[in-house]
Structure 1
């Protein structure tokens, strides 16, 4: 499997700005809205899987269209996994909403379910940005079979060292791949630091970008996950406290 993360911003975030909270309602869209539809078309046209998002989801509109949502109204920070044919395979709504110097926790509804998708020999899961700080979420994903976690993010300065540490730590402690995809550019007073990177199950950074918008390619091997877990069976030794 080839993973190609980019440092950029999604369509709806580009309209509203990741930290432009006053614009969330106007930029929100349902699961079958402009962002997902455009990226599904691109996935099918080019024969590649795409993680669409994250974007501000209009839960009322999604519910009205027949989609299962955590609430019949309000908004969520949502990412959608699209396969090579543009089919919607997984939906993840951010579980941990950022409350520090942010209105996200006041404006959005947290997700309630995990998302895992079988793709190219991997069990692919998604978490979003601040979720990185909660290792128990990743352990639940491991229990669900995850071998690759995609992490779309809007991680700003000055927390550079945290961004470089946390994805790697999640990869090491769970013996899986983590693709941490960050935005770049300035949104309101937040300056996103970029530095998207892919970490293997041993915590080695196998591909990385700098602070500017860019594209990188990483070759991922599903056998590397099972091999590491067999050679170093830390997950099997885990005990509940």
Structure 2
């Protein structure tokens, strides 16, 4: 079996400290690569902080902006794939990839391979409204892309997307066997976080890696607990709520064997 080492960078995120947050992200990429990671994944809105809604417009960037460019260079320099997810994207300023709207802001992840090539862009589909103004400030994504990384077909969703299982079915139908989920999930909804991510792994018989942040904002505290669930829904690696790097050895053949042993996906009736 050929295993891939995935590293979930549970970063300390300080609201509005974009320079400091990006530096911590770059340090995590370097550290994870030194520890043998093949893929490093970052949390949702690790630059500005999810709950810093009043700063979204000020710190919005295009895909070609400084943050993604620095992480793209880090991927190539350290020979490691990087899921840079997510930042506030300025859709009007983005030039290199298709955008869902002529203007506005989006919650956007980018996946770079170990050569620094852009393999995937994902804009959050389901925008949160409960106790949040994300759905007022941002434009939802429209596309589901996949990428080949470390023997896996990788898909990306973001945080609140965990509550919408049909999105994950679409990814499985596209051949995905690893879903990475950059998130900014707060207390007190620990059981939702644990249950939903595990359910998405079980029902789709794939790996689900949830990458959460750490830190407190004016009215919310991120609960951390970044976790890798295997295709049986077993948590093979996880954390508490402090900043850390969670690593796990994952194998695409594990997905194949589970789907062959218990062929629930084959029994779907559409």
RMSD: 1.2
**Structure 1 range deviating more: 119-128 or 2-11:** 2-11
1:134 aligns with 2:164: yes
Counterpart of 1:197 in structure 2 is 227
Kept in 1: contact 2:63–2:96 (CA 8 A): no
1:180-223, CA deviations, whole angstroms, 9 ceiling, x for partnerless residues? 00011012211000010000000010001111000121001000
Quote the offset at 1:66 in angstroms. 3.9
| Structure 1 residues without counterparts, runs of 5 or longer | none
Quote the offset at 1:47 in angstroms. 0.7
SS of corresponding position for 2:180: strand
Q: How far apart are the structure 2 equivalents of 1:106 and 1:165?
A: 28
Counterpart of 1:7 in structure 2 is 10
Counterpart of 2:39 in structure 1 is none
**Structure 1 range deviating more: 94-103 or 186-195:** 186-195
Aligned with residue 23 of structure 1, among 39, 52, 55: 55
**Structure 1 range deviating more: 84-93 or 11-20:** 11-20
1:42 aligns with 2:74: yes
Q: TM-score, normalised by structure 1?
A: 0.96
Quote the offset at 1:14 in angstroms. 5.2
Kept in 2: contact 1:94–1:131 (CA 8 A): yes
1:187 aligns with 2:190: no
1:58 aligns with 2:61: no
Counterpart of 2:108 in structure 1 is 78
| Structure 2 residues without counterparts, runs of 5 or longer | 14-20, 23-43
SS of corresponding position for 1:162: helix
Query: Compared with structure 1, are the counterparts of its residues 66 and 7 closer, same or farther at alpha carbon in structure 2 (3 Å cutoff)?
Result: closer
Kept in 2: contact 1:18–1:187 (CA 8 A): no
Q: How far apart are the structure 2 equivalents of 1:13 and 1:103?
A: 14
Q: How far apart are the structure 2 equivalents of 1:105 and 1:60?
A: 18
Equivalent positions of 1:153-164 (< 5 A) are 153-164=183-194
Quote the offset at 1:6 in angstroms. 1.4
Kept in 1: contact 2:230–2:236 (CA 8 A): yes
Quote the offset at 1:13 in angstroms. 4.0
Q: How far apart are the structure 2 equivalents of 1:46 and 1:15?
A: 21
Quote the offset at 1:16 in angstroms. 2.9
Q: TM-score, normalised by structure 2?
A: 0.86
SS of corresponding position for 1:180: strand
Kept in 1: contact 2:224–2:239 (CA 8 A): yes
**Structure 1 range deviating more: 126-135 or 3-12:** 3-12
1:122 aligns with 2:125: no
How many residues are matched?
238
Q: How far apart are the structure 2 equivalents of 1:21 and 1:156?
A: 15
Counterpart of 2:258 in structure 1 is 228
Q: How far apart are the structure 2 equivalents of 1:181 and 1:149?
A: 11
Q: How far apart are the structure 1 equivalents of 2:156 and 2:224?
A: 19
